[in-house]
Amino acid sequence: MHYEKELAEVTLHSIGDAVITTDAQARVEYLNPIAETLTGWSVKAAKGRPLAEVFRIINGVTREPQVNPAEKCLKENRIVGLENNTVLICRDGSERVIEDSAAPVRDREEKVVGAVMVFYDVTLMRNSTHLLSYHATHDALTGLVNRREFERALTRLVENAKLEGKEHVLCYLDLDQFKVVNDTCGHIAGDKLLRQLAFHLKGRVRDTDTLARLGGDEFGVLLDSCPLEAAHRLAEGLLRAINDFRFVWEGETFEIGASIGMVRITPQSGSPAELLAQADSACYAAKEKGRNRFQLYEPGDVEFLRRQDEMHWVARIRHALEENRFTLYCQPIQPLRDGADPRHYCEMLIRMVDESGNLVPPMAFIPAAERYGLMPAIDRWVIRKALSTFFSGRKDSGRNVLCFINLSGASLADTGMLEFIRKEIRAHGVAPERICFEITETAAVANLDAAIAFIKALKETGCRFALDDFGSGMSSFAYLKNLPVDYLKISGAFVLNVAHNPTDRAMVDAINHVGHVMGILTVAESVESDQILEPLKAMGVDFAQGYGIARPAPMEEYLASATAESV
């Protein structure tokens, strides 16, 4: 019992709402630190006093005293919420607008033995003197400075550093495990967590600093005239405060963490936008190093420069998606077996069209898209474009083409992707048998159960599947028997040297043999010459793809050629 009481007190001490507990006669037993701050009463001074003396509330409009919700919940034996416009009169006479509720506390025999009052301060959001100005500069959920005002403050510090030579520090803070709360408990719980945490963090920065919510679960801190050593201490303090924070929702207690990216603001600093990008990059590095830490941005660091380049690509990718500046190319896949095959086989390959109309190869932007979660959006664009073009209204359009379309690992985990594909197939009237989705071996093995379920669901509609880049992973054969694919695309890492390297030749032969034993057709990738093609034919590989077969061509051009050959 002593342990349970101690655990309860530790939890109440840590959570971000103010909490007051009473006995059955509404006499104060406990205040957590937030309640002490808001009421102005310490636990020692308040204990044993009537709650109405410690927790004095009035209606903010009429100024009339309000019924104390804890006394009401004890009397009516139910949860009671505070009325709108409730104002708490603090011990020093100051006032705070508050929200939340009171609930009875019962023992194991269901006898009411006290009450618990939970409330939080909404003064800034409700009672600003300059309300219009306040809403323009503050986040509606947390009451913190908003992103727009934060960027203005950052601009002022950048100018100050250049004109007066002062140094400041920018911190970019991203919560870890917030998504768990949001996904498990819903957005209402997530919003409440953010409100509580914002209050919790306000006490951990100096009066001269700027704390802002930048969006979602991201916060920014501007440390005005702050040496780097002091900034390190402040960042460590913020991390400790977040680690100590406990969020309680419907009887469950959640812990979160944070990663912080830091960048110095000096006379040599770039623009505010560049500083934000650098801090974001440093924050990402902190996450990659294990989370729950801070990372200082170091100019010239190769890893930071690479990440900044990727972040630059993120903006370009988003703009290209918005402006429909992608295009599809098709690379033919050639059957190698004897006998007439009336169908054409091709793989869809995406290209970006830049702002000047030039083509951008996929390896320039795909790594950034993968790192920053943009691949599902790109995959959706490819699927919609491919299917709408192959079913363009012409009777023979793509009728004899089996189209290979790549799907990223992120799309396999995207809960809406399966239904999106089904809808697109129905909308464009494409026979599912004409579509073969390619997934990489690495992506499939990384989330095997999800990959198997995804493949089976689409195969039931008639779609086919290919396992791309096979042989590049460490456990290829062990997992292959669990993946119901139709084609194995043998990794080009082995195919390129098949004519000269006995080990690579043996690997290709083994993959081809196992595939055939399992009833799976094989495709050799990276076939660059006849020297490579001949041993593949001798092994009995089913298909070949590469520059030695044909270079990629614009989709419309390829489709016109394939249609003409079919006539």
**Per-residue pLDDT for the chain (567 aa), expressed as one digit of tens each?**
444 445 455 555 556 678 899 999 999 999 988 899 899 999 999 999 999 999 999 877 667 888 888 888 888 888 777 666 788 899 988 888 887 778 888 888 888 889 988 888 776 555 544 445 556 788 878 888 899 999 999 999 999 999 988 899 999 999 988 877 877 788 888 888 898 888 888 888 888 899 999 988 999 999 999 998 999 999 999 999 998 888 888 878 888 889 999 999 999 888 998 899 889 888 888 887 778 888 898 776 656 556 666 667 888 899 999 999 999 999 999 999 876 577 889 999 999 998 889 999 898 888 888 878 899 999 999 999 999 987 654 444 445 789 999 999 889 888 899 999 999 999 988 899 999 999 987 788 777 888 899 999 999 999 999 999 887 654 456 677 788 999 999 999 899 999 999 999 999 999 999 999 999 999 999 999 999 999 999 999 999 999 999 999 999 888 887 766 654
Give the residue from 126, 146, 162 where a domain finishes: 126
Residue 519 is which amino acid? G
- What distance in Å separates the CA atoms of residue 258 and residue 256, rounded to the nearest whole number? 7
- In terms of DSSP H, where are the helices of 24-146? 33-39, 43-46, 51-54, 69-76, 123-126, 131-137
- Domain range for 50 is 2-126
Tokens representing 437 are 């989705």
Half-sphere exposure of 331 (CA within 13 A, CB side): 19
Measuring CA to CA, which residue among 39, 63, 64 is closest to residue 53? 39
Residue 305 inside a domain? The answer is no
350 and 241 in a common domain: no
Asked if the structure places residue 304 within a domain, the reply is no
Shared-domain flag, residues 95 and 220: no
- Gap between the Cα atoms of 372 and 366, Å rounded: 10
d(CA 63, CA 476): 74
* Domain contains 561: yes
CA angle 341, 344, 348 (to 5 degrees): 150
CATH number at residue 48: 3.30.450.20
Q: How far is CA 524 from the centre of its chain?
A: 36
pTM of the model: 0.56
User: Counting Cβ atoms within 10 Å, is residue 419 exposed (0-12), middle (13-18) or buried (19+)?
Assistant: exposed
Between strands 294-296 and 257-265, the pairing is parallel
Give the 3-state secondary structure of residue 262: strand
Structure tokens at 17: 């709402």
Q: Amino acid letter at 32?
A: N
| Structural domain contains residue 488 | yes
The total number of structural domains in the chain stands at: 3
Residues 289 and 324 reside in one and the same domain: no
My answer on whether 107 and 140 are in the same domain is no
Q: Based on the fold, state whether residues 156 and 40 are members of the same structural domain.
A: no
Three-state secondary structure along 269-311? CCCHHHHHHHHHHHHHHHHHCCCCCEEECCCCCHHHHHHHHHH
Distance CA 504, CA 492 (A): 10
Domain assignment present for residue 307? The answer is: no
C-alpha to C-alpha distances, 82 to 49, 165, 198, 269, nearest whole angstrom: 21, 51, 22, 49
Beta bridge partners of 401: 344
The pairs formed by 386-391 with CB atoms below 8 angstroms and a separation of 24 or more are 386/328, 386/348, 386/555, 387/424, 387/425, 387/427, 387/428, 387/430, 387/435, 388/428, 389/328, 389/555, 389/556, 389/559, 390/428, 390/430, 390/434, 390/559, 391/428, 391/429, 391/430
Task: List 80's β-bridge partners, or say none.
Answer: 102
Say whether both 117 and 166 belong to one domain. Answer: no
Among 126, 153, 188, the domain boundary falls at 126
Both 104 and 237 in one domain: the answer is no
Task: Among 272, 299, 326, identify where a domain stops.
Answer: 299
Q: Are residues 92 and 173 in the same domain?
A: no
Question: Contact at 8 Å (CB) between 528 and 496?
Answer: yes
